[in-house]
Amino acid sequence: MDDKLQEIEHKFDRLTANFGDPTVLADQARFKAVSKEHAQLKPLVETYRDFKRVRAELRENQALKFLRNLHKFEVPQRRKRGLPPPVLFGD
């Protein structure tokens, strides 16, 4: 699914770039076709980009949750052994 959506996103980006192409701007029929296809793809591409952003945020949040849980477990274990707490994020 991602491959197909990425392909559509790239096509949308190419269509967007066509709006700056003088040959497309000079050809009214081509400009109209590019505009129509661009308008058709825009809602899908915007939704896909939102999806990618949310998915990345979810992965980041899951990683942070894992680190917090690891830290919660690790600190007491290290204290029992007389060791300093682990260093997170280069602190």
Q: pLDDT tens digits, residue range 15-62?
A: 999 999 999 999 999 999 999 999 999 999 999 999 999 999 999 999
* pLDDT exceeds 90 at position 76: no
Closest CA to 58 of 23, 77, 66: 66
Of the pLDDT bands very low, low, confident and very high (cuts 50, 70, 90), residue 90 is low
pTM above 0.75, yes or no: no
**pLDDT of the residue at 72:** 81
Cβ-proximal residues to 25 (8 Å cutoff; 6+ apart), any chain = 19, 31
Q: How far apart are CA 55 and CA 62, in angstroms?
A: 10
Q: What's the Cα-to-Cα distance from 48 to each of 18, 51, 79, 82, rounded to whole Å?
A: 21, 5, 46, 50
Integer-rounded Cα Rg, in Å, for the chain is: 24
